[in-house]
Amino acid sequence: LSFNSSQGPMCDLLWSDPDDRGGWGISPRGAGYTFGQDIAETFNHTNGLSLISRAHQLVMEGYNWCHDRQVVTIFSAPNYCYRCGNQAAIMELDDLLTHSLYNIFIEWTLIEIFCSLLFEVPSVFSNHCRKNIPIHCAEDELFSVCCFCSLRNKTHKQQKKATDDNKQQELVNKVSATIGSGNLRLAVVLPEGEDLNEWVAANICDFFNQISMLYGTITEFCTSERCAVMSAGPFEYVWTDCSNPKRSIKCSAPQYIDFLMTWIQDKLDDESVFPSKIGVPFPANFMEVARTIMKRLFRIYAHIYYQHFENVERLKEEAHLNTSFKHFILFVQEFNLIEDKDLQPLQEVIERLTSKER
C-alpha cells in the first residue's frame, strides 16, 4: 500500500523507527515512511503508552520484557514472525484498509504475548495454540492495539551429564524434540528489490542481538573457572585481533566472548563498514567482514551447545536457542557465509535442524 501525507498516522504505525532518521522519507527498504523520536514520543503520550517497537524487536531485544505493560508493537513483515521462536502479533491490511490481527504462537516459546484491544476480542484469542482470528473494525481502532508480554516461570531440574564422545548425538536428539515446522528458509531469502549488502547487514545486527540475549541468560554459568578455555567440545578457539592477525590469545570463554562482542559492536558502529545513512555505499570488502562476523558468532552458539546446554535446559530455553540457531544457519547457508570446516563442531545438529527445510 502507498500513503500520502494526510494518512501519516497510519504510516507511523505501519513503518516506524524510534531512532531519529530525519523525519519523513522513504525507508531503506524502499517502502513506507520513517520518523524520529519526536513523533514516537507524541504518539506514546497521546495514547498513554511507553514504547513503540516492532514485534520481533520486542522479543529479541527484550525491552525489560514488559516495559510497564504498556507496549504497542509495530507489526512487522511476516518473515519476522518465527524469529527467535517468539510469539508475535501481525497486522495485515487489505485494499479497503480492513485489517486482520493474527496471534502467532509457538508452544515452546519463553515469552507469552497477550493482545489487549479496546474493542471486544474473543476469549479464545489468548489460548496456548496457534490461532488466526480476523478482527474487522474501523480504521481508527488500529491505534488501540497493544501488546503485553510476560515471562513464564522458570523451573529447574537435574540433567544427566553427557560425555564428549556422545555429546553431539545427544544434542541432536534434544534438538529434534524442539524444532518447529515453520519454513524458516523462506524468511532468509533476499526480498525482491532488496540490496544484498543491506539485507546481510540488517540480519547481522539481528543475530548479534539474539546471541547477546541468549548468552546473557547463562553468563552466571560461563565463568573463567568453569570455562577456562573457549571451546566447543574438542574444538578450541583462540582470540585473534583482525588488526594484528599474527597475535593470538588463548583465553577463557567469557573473555573471548567479551572480546568478540566488543569487536562486532565496534564494526556495527563504524559508518565506513555498516553505513546507516541511505545512499551511502558499503565497502568493497563488506561480505568478507560479514563472513568473519558470522563465523565468530557461530562459535558462541557452539560453546553454548557443548558447554552450557544443561544450563539452557534448566532455564527452559532450549527451544528458543534451537530456533534462533536454526534461523542463523539457514541464513548462513543461503548466502554461503561460513565454510563447512568451520561448522564442523555442530555439523550433526545442523543436519537435523535443516533436514526439513530443503
Residue 222 is labelled as binding a ligand: yes
Check if the beta carbon of residue 311 is closer than 8 Å to that of residue 221.
Answer: yes
Q: Which amino acid is at 129?
A: C
SS3 122: coil
Report the alpha-carbon distance of residue 202 to residue 255 in Å, rounded.
26
SS3 104: strand
Region of 211 (left: φ > 0; alpha: ψ -120 to 50; beta: rest) is: alpha
Residue 303 is labelled as binding a ligand: yes
Centroid of chain to Cα 277: 22
Hey, what's the cell of 244?
594484528
The residue to which cell 562482542 is assigned: 261
**Residues 6 or more apart from 246 whose CB is under 8 A from it?**
none
Residue 227 is labelled as binding a ligand: yes
Nearest to 74 by CA among 131, 155, 121, 19: 19
Helix locations, the chain, DSSP H: 8-14, 37-47, 55-61, 164-176, 185-188, 196-216, 253-269, 286-314, 318-335, 347-354
Tell me the binding residues for Zn(2+). Answer: 222, 227, 303, 308
Tell me the binding residues. Answer: 222, 227, 303, 308
